[in-house]
Structure 1
Amino acid sequence: MLKKLGAFGYLSSQEVKDNGVVNAGHLDQALALAWVKLHICKFGGDPSKVTIAGQSAGAGSVMHHALAVNGDLGSLLFDKGLAQSPYLPYQPNFNDAIPTSRYYAFSAAAGCPSSGSVFSCLLSKSAADLELASLSVTASSTQGSWGFWPVTDGVYIKNRPTAQLTAKRVNGNKLLVGYNAHEGPLFVPGPDAIETQADLLAWMALWFPNLSSAQLNSILAINPNSALSSASGPRFETDGLNTGGFNAINTSPDGVGQKQRGNNIYAEATFACPAYWLADAYSGNPGKSSWLYQFSVPFAYHGADINAAFGPSTPSLPSDITLAFRKAWGNFIVGGNPSIANTIANGASSASPSAYHPASNWPVWNQNAPQFVNFNTTGGTLATVELPLVGPYPQYEGPGIKNAISVQNANTWEAYRGDRCAFYKNLGPYMPN
């Protein structure tokens, strides 16, 4: 949502706030949610059981509505939240240097002054002019970034997400949150741009503009990898368990070496760790609960779980895995628990469909001993597929694909992802987010 609205939803500066509101995109969503709450009964719905859902920037919106008004809205707007890959870039104050500089860049691109009072001039411009100006600012941003984001406005969004999530000040009662195994490749420059550690640091300085060189190097230290990038590979999936020393820090179907190091830094800081932090905020919080998943069906790039949830199916997504994923969603929305039956988790093509499966008793997220469900498959025939911005990548196609869904330890997963997420949260005041 925020990526699509651009300046129309998230233009921010002191002058914008003095003349109206910032975070207008989120306020529009809140108005829509209030309308649903008031009128859903006229469509056969239950106003006490509203579920909001979103993917990527939309999942970031779910997160922000969970944080809205310091978490004091309770279940006023929704009961349950479903967030696919919650997007959390840095979140400055509405009048900080970065949103203010983009406000003036937007003004100049629209044909108005680049400093001083420009609001009246912007009001005189056509919607088409403003749309092109918004596109211009976003086009000049670092790969993986956009021109306009939500900001801390002191009214609807009162705090940094990492701070408020740590304080467990959240709206709604239940949350299902997840991410994909390889969130980074679409947002990180290719292996020809990131071959060495120096290349990686140069990109990181653009993506994390507020961090010092010491802080950037500390991120490298918790993502140890001395190998050079290689476009020829070998590139392959990891099992997440660090078998043989291979994990998301150093290899994926998209890259190896410094390129994959960057992929995982972006993936964890922007999507995977915010999913952990969101789940944490509902854990041990009276009357609230959460569940977490990772979608790992190769090649599990950003957005891959959309096909599993809504279709259309692809050669790597046979009916067994899509049925399991959709049942988890449906069970959460209807009954408030994403657990799926043994026969669904194992899949009809399993040798023992009725055998006990731990996903039939999906563990509620426990911040002190976190477990999640990993949606994956095994079998099939290796094929090469082309993905825009990524290039050729390996995936497995049917027949012969079977479910390989499992319950895993979220802390030790991918060479102690839990530790890295705790580290990124400590950087929250500096990013800021």
Structure 2
Amino acid sequence: MQQVFRCLYRLGTFGFLAGDEVNRFGSLNAGLQDQQLALYWVQQYIHLFGGDPSRVTIGGESAGGGSVMLQSMAYGGSLGTQLFNNVFASSPYLPQQYDYRAFVPEQAYYAFAQAAGCLTGPYGNTNQSVFACLQAGDSATLINASASVSEEGVYGTWAFVPVTGPAGSFVQELPSQQLLQAKVNGKVVLSGNNANEGYPFVPKGVTTEDEAIAYLKLLFPFFSEDNLNTVLAAYKYDTGPNATLYATAGDSGDTANDISSVASGPHQQIAQIYSETTFVCPSYWLAEAFIASGGAGYKYQFSVPPATHGADVAAYFGNGYTSDFSQAFQTALGTLIIDNKPSFPSQVANGLSTSNTSFNPASDWPVFSMQSELMIDLNTTCTDFVTSAAGVPTCQGADNLNEIREVDAYSWEGGRGARCELWRSLYQVVPE
């Protein structure tokens, strides 16, 4: 019997306040520890619901996907399969992950304390620590202070996110570096990304190179001019801000550095940079790590236009896309849970309504490794579009046919694999 449990955990300052005082008097990454406590609960009680504690699959999307990734890295990957066997990480969110004592989290800590009145104001008290003052604060004050600090940050970023802790703590290393060492919990991972993850997170109206560069300098505050020039060279584009928009094929023609169904020119460039550094490359690194650890890693991209961040959720919950497409996506997730490998019969990949039973290579889902970076591209023919509430053309018409195929993830979109290697090499200035 398959059982589904949802995990609630603390967010903002309640779940991810960091700094030296938090480490000394409280708990770093408390939100992640909430999740792990829930996993221990599942191990203890799942048999009462007809479940098998040795066959647990954890999954999440966006921050949930990032949480799943960090659970698979917990305590240096030393937990093995104690808490789960399989991992599903959809668009795993990896913001820049600073050391808990670094300037950025310490600055956020004291900005939060200031907003909560623990440095000056009615709650300020020189006879107690800042942390003790925060502990004494009421929830409404702390919630408003947390929101206030986050609102002042760089567009597309949040002030309170996971941090790297000291030796022996829950999160001990940067994900890019720990995953390179294949130190993971669990045995099987299915990780994926959407084609245009970054679009919702970057400023709208960027039309010039100077505007793009100004944003990148804010997003990556420790970049040198050489770092910036290296990244800009890796994300060169050939389209202008007013180009006709369309979805790229991925393995031919223009690339996502140039254009997408939602942006072009310098706007698309910064969206692509945000997309790959924050969501896409982590999904690559995660799949590679599970293969290198002796387990199994599988990879996909959700490409149905506009394929912006979060657009895939409706597909695997069976809402808003053709039944053929949702059935294929749901079948892959179901077989991951039941058979420890994502797969679907050729007829399901082709679309049951088409009665096409010809062999589809995607039905034998390839493993994803550094030697053979193959993934499944989940797409449809997109002959029918509807316009979303945000005015974005969205491929959700009833006549769209499945276009699911096996592709080379390394050369995808003009060399995405090489760009992910570049981001991993920049870990000292872009801590991920």
Q: Shorter chain as normaliser: what TM range?
A: over 0.9
Counterpart contact for 1:106–1:133, Cα < 8 Å: yes
| 1:402 to 1:138, Cα distance in 2 relative to 1, 3 A | same
Aligned to 1:426: 425
Task: Determine the structure 2 residue equivalent to 1:342.
Answer: 346
Select between 115-124 and 83-92 the one with higher mean Cα deviation.
115-124
**Which structure 1 residue ranges, 5 or more long, are not aligned?**
none
Aligned length: 418
Map Cα deviations across residues 290-319 of structure 1 (whole Å, 9 max, x no partner): 1001001111110011001114x22xx110
CA contact (8 A) 2:54 2:84 kept: yes
Q: Do the aligned partners of residues 112 and 79 (structure 1) sit closer, same or farther apart at CA in structure 2, a change above 3 Å counting?
A: same
Indicate yes or no: 2:41 matched with 1:39. no
Q: Shift of residue 372 of structure 1?
A: 0.3
**Equivalent position amino acid for 1:424 in 2:** W
Deviation of 1:196 (Å): 1.2
Q: Is the 8 A contact 1:52 1:81 kept in 2?
A: yes
Deviation at 1:383, TM superposition (A): 3.7
Instruction: State the alpha-carbon separation in 2 of the partners of residues 187 and 74 from structure 1.
Output: 34
Percent identity, please: 41
Distance across 2 between alignment mates of 1:205 and 1:405 = 38
- Structure 1 pair 54/382, CA: closer, same or farther in 2 (3 Å)? closer
Q: 1:307 corresponds to which residue?
A: 314
Q: How has the CA–CA distance of structure 1 residues 214 and 4 changed in structure 2, closer, same or farther, with 3 Å as cutoff?
A: farther
In the superposition, the TM-score normalised over structure 1's length comes to 0.93
Question: 1:2·1:150 contact (CA, 8 Å) conserved in 2?
Answer: no
The reply on whether 1:82 has 2:99 as its aligned counterpart is no
SS at match of 2:216: helix
- TM-score normalised by L of structure 2: 0.93
Query: RMSD over aligned Cα, in angstroms?
Result: 1.7
Aligned partners of 1:56 and 1:86 also within 8 Å: yes
Name the structure 2 match of 1:215. 227
Q: Distance in 2 between matches of 1:2 and 1:261?
A: 35
**Residue 393 of structure 2 is aligned to residue 386 of structure 1:** no
Partners of 2:187 and 2:258 in 1: how far apart? Answer: 37
Structure 1 residue 227, shift from structure 2 partner: 4.3
Deviation for aligned residue 1:42: 1.2
**Moved segments of 4+, more than 6 Å:** 1-4
Change (3 A) 1:2 1:269: farther
Q: Distance in 2 between matches of 1:225 and 1:330?
A: 39
1:241 Cα deviation after fit: 1.2
- CA 1:415–1:3: 2 relative to 1, 3 Å: farther
What is the alpha-carbon distance in structure 2 between the residues aligned to residue 50 and residue 99 of structure 1? 34
Alignment of 1:11-410 (within 5 A): 11-113=17-119, 117-154=129-166, 155-190=169-204, 192=205, 194-225=206-237, 227-230=239-242, 233-243=243-253, 246-286=254-294, 288-311=295-318, 313-314=319-320, 317-350=321-354, 353-387=356-390, 392-410=391-409
The equivalent of 2:4 in structure 1 is: none
C-alpha distance in 1 between matches for 2:345 and 2:307: 24
Residue 74 of structure 2 contacts residue 170 of structure 2 at CA under 8 Å; is this kept in 1? yes
Contact map agreement 1:178 1:293 (CA 8 A) in 2? yes
Q: Deviation at 1:385?
A: 2.7
CA distance in structure 2 between the partners assigned to 1:295 and 1:56 by the alignment: 14
- Give the distance between the partners of 1:242 and 1:142, measured in 2 at CA: 34
